[in-house]
Amino acid sequence: MKKCDYLILEYADSELRAHGIPFIVILRGQDNNSCVLTGYVLRGWETKIRVASDKELEDVAIILEDLRYYSRAAPASSGGRFFDRLSSLNVGPVRERVSGSCHLEELDTVLPIFFDGEIVTVPWQLFFDELAAVAGSVA
């Protein structure tokens, strides 16, 4: 089974809010010391996250463009550094919410919860916490 690191970024319309709306899942493969990135963005994120201003919309678009670059054109090593920098986001409207490692196949059971829009109605973070616990006990 292939292992990967995952990172979920959220958007909060105020830095005073403890929780925002998760809208990006970024995966970093752990195969043969490569750091290949893959990103998944919540469909219709522009309306679902309720961006507070045009400036913040531009900031989110820049992060998405950077993700596109690091997942397609950049050398794998720089993609790993980009992933690490994203995991330290904690100021501003876009910040890291959940991160961990698991087997890629295990994400098949969790990601539909994220992408089917159930993120508001269920404690979706618990599913990722369970993945991290399982991966930690297997490792």
Task: Please enumerate in sequence order all residues whose Cβ is within 8 A of that of 35, keeping only pairs 6 or more positions apart, or say none.
Answer: 28, 29, 76, 77, 79, 80, 83
Residue-wise pLDDT for 37-82, tens only, equals 888 888 888 888 877 788 888 888 888 898 888 888 777 678 888 8
- What's the average model confidence in pLDDT over 108-137? 65
21 phi and psi angles, rounded to 5 deg: -105, 120
Q: What is the pTM of this model?
A: 0.76
For residue 2, what is the DSSP state?
A: -
Q: Are 87 and 97 in contact (CB under 8 A)?
A: no
Domain ranges, ordered by start, for the chain: 3-128
At 10 the pLDDT is: 85
Q: Provide the token pair at 57.
A: 């919309």
Q: Where are the alpha helices (DSSP H) in the chain?
A: 45-48, 54-72, 76-86, 107-115, 124-138
